């Protein structure tokens, strides 16, 4: 199974309410324990060749096999051609391809490896353009701008979804109807159904890599995030889904939702690590470390109580660094940058680089890092301001500005912006972009001229309803 990188203080809040109950978690763990006893790849030997002159057996095997890290540019081109031929055969044959697939794990591996190679190729092409040293490779890339192109990859994923009618099936299931009634001739075949389903998760990943985080979450409108979903049966798909959903929430400044997503999968991995296969364990461990870095960032922005397992692991991994994140201030900026670089996806540009003017090419990772660091700087004063406001019920703006050594009018603007930022959307059900608007801090304030009136944040009716709904889910 391939899973590769695109490669608590102020704890007033309750434990993440949508972490599943011990009974449900145990059922998922047991199901995964049974799954790892079987690896469907060897069953590809029993797949018969099909198609006029096409060796579908070799193409299927190659599609689910990880490409070597040091593969040559010619090999990357050949792999792209193989995927094009395979997907053309599956999508454009006269009627559905009559082909049994070994397992849902194999279907995930095909989509996962397809996107990984796309991501890897884009990164490689970007480096070649930056260095501008290998004239032969530059010429080859210049002559083939559409190889591993963004449009081609998205076209394959959307075509598999459309052909399988998986969105219609999932929507019907959510309404309580029989999804098979909407499957059609193609969607009733496991080959199309599974490739279509995992293409939805693949779109989440690709849109996130392209930096469109709201569209990334929108793609999962028809998939429910629970243990009954198909992605939860494949460890790598389960892990990937929660990583990209959590990261998208973080970049949209919905930190409470990001923490809930990261918490779910980190607890699940901690329960299954004793029977991970070696190859899986290495890749999952690396991604696991990335999610600990991301949840540390989110908790610094949105202090909350975590599961004991996660809290202990964070203290062991980061120690004093974790305290620095929570204190904020200029000293924390390099640490935020370091954690983001180590934990973010390998973002990609949607278009080929300019080989003639390499200096104008924008590094997508640096671009998103700048956006993230702007958010960090906006929140830099938050812990200090909060510590002062907790001491007063009414405070003069100029007095607080004197404590912080900032201009009063600049502080006024910051307080107004920060008050608005404390109103966050929290997801509980429905589409991942939906949710209730709730106050995210345990402290609230209002401004009257130069006076700041401070109070504890009131728990509104919506927050009570949200908590009760999710408490019922948990227990």
What whole-number distance in Å separates Cα of residue 113 and Cα of residue 99?
20
The Cα–Cα gap between 457 and 443 comes to 5
Say which residues have a Cβ less than 8 Å from residue 83's Cβ, sequence separation at least 6: 63, 114, 117, 156
Q: Is the Cβ–Cβ distance between 164 and 182 less than 8 Å?
A: no
- Per 3-state DSSP, the chain is made up of helix, strand and coil in percentages (nearest 5) of 65, 5, 30
pLDDT at residue 70, as a whole number: 82
The CA-CA-CA angle for residues 56, 62, 67, to 5°, reads 165
When comparing pLDDT for 164 and 229, which is higher? 164
pLDDT at 444: 79
Give the whole-angstrom CA distance, residue 426 versus residue 436: 5
Tokens 């003069």, residue located: 396
Tell me what the mean pLDDT of segment 23-30 comes to: 56
CATH number, span 381-471: 1.10.10
Structure-token pair, residue 108 = 């995930």
Name residue, tokens 């992605």.
231
Query: What's the rounded Cα separation, in Å, for the pair 245 and 250?
Result: 9
The Cα 168–Cα 329 span in angstroms is 49
For the chain, domain boundaries: 72-226, 381-471
pLDDT higher than threshold 50 for residue 20 = no
Given a cut of 80, is residue 31 above it in pLDDT? no
- pLDDT tens digit sequence for 186-225: 989 988 999 999 999 999 999 999 999 999 999 999 888 8
Span 327-343, pLDDT tens digits: 888 888 999 999 999 99
- pLDDT of residue 3 exceeding 60, the answer is no
Query: Any residues with CB less than 8 A from the CB of 126 and at least 6 apart, and which?
Result: 348, 349, 353, 361, 363, 364
For the record, the structure tokens of 288 come out as 């696991």
Q: Please write the tens of the pLDDT for every residue from 355-383.
A: 988 888 899 999 999 999 998 988 888 88
Report in angstroms the alpha-carbon separations of 389 from 300, 332, 344, 400: 18, 21, 34, 9
Residue 45 in this model has a pLDDT that exceeds 50: no
- Do 132 and 138 touch, CB atoms closer than 8 A? yes
DSSP-derived secondary structure for 174-216: HTTS-GGGGTHHHHTSHHHHHHHHHHHHHHHHHHHHTT-HHHH
């Amino acid at each position: 199974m391939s899973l590769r990188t695109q490669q608590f203080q102020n704890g007033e809040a309750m434990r993440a309410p949508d972490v599943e109950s011990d009974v449900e978690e145990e059922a998922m763990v047991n199901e995964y324990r049974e799954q790892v006893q079987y690896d469907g790849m060897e069953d590809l030997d029993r797949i018969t060749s099909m198609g006029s002159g096409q060796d579908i057996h070799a193409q299927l095997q190659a599609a689910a096999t990880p490409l070597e890290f040091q593969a040559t540019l010619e090999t990357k081109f050949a792999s792209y051609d193989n995927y094009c031929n395979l997907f053309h055969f599956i999508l454009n044959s006269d009627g559905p391809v009559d082909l049994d697939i070994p397992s849902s794990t194999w279907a995930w591996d095909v989509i996962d490896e397809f996107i990984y190679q796309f991501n890897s190729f884009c990164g490689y092409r970007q480096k070649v353009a930056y260095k501008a040293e290998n004239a032969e490779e530059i010429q080859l890339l210049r002559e083939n701008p559409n190889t591993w192109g963004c449009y081609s990859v998205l076209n394959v994923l959307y075509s598999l979804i459309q052909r399988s009618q998986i969105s219609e099936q999932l929507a019907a299931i959510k309404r309580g109807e029989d999804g098979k009634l909407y499957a059609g001739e193609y969607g009733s075949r496991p080959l199309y159904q599974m490739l279509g389903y995992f293409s939805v998760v693949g779109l989440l990943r690709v849109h996130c890599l392209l930096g469109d985080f709201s569209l990334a979450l929108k793609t999962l409108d028809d998939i429910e995030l629970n243990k009954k979903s198909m992605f939860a049966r494949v460890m790598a798909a389960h892990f990937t889904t929660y990583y990209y959903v959590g990261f998208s929430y973080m970049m949209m400044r919905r930190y409470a939702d990001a923490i809930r997503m990261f918490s779910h999968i980190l607890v699940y991995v901690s329960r299954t690590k004793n029977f991970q296969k070696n190859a899986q364990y290495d890749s999952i461990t690396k991604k696991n470390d990335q999610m600990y870095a991301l949840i540390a960032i989110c908790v610094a922005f949105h202090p909350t109580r975590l599961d004991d397992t996660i809290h202990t692991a964070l203290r062991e991994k980061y120690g004093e660094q974790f305290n620095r994140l929570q204190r904020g201030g200029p000293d924390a900026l390099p640490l935020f940058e370091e954690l983001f670089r180590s934990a973010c996806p390998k973002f990609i540009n949607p278009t080929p680089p300019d080989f003639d003017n390499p200096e104008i090419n924008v590094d997508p990772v640096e671009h998103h890092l700048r956006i993230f660091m702007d958010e960090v700087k906006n929140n830099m004063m938050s812990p200090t301001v909060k510590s002062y406001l907790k001491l007063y019920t009414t405070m003069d703006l100029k007095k607080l500005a004197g404590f912080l050594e900032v201009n009063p009018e600049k502080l006024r603007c910051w307080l107004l912006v920060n008050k608005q930022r404390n109103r966050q959307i929290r997801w509980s059900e429905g589409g991942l972009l939906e949710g209730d608007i709730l106050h995210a801090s345990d402290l609230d304030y209002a401004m009257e001229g130069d006076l700041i009136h401070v109070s504890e944040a009131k728990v509104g009716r919506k927050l009570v309803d949200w908590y009760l709904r999710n408490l019922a889910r948990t227990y």
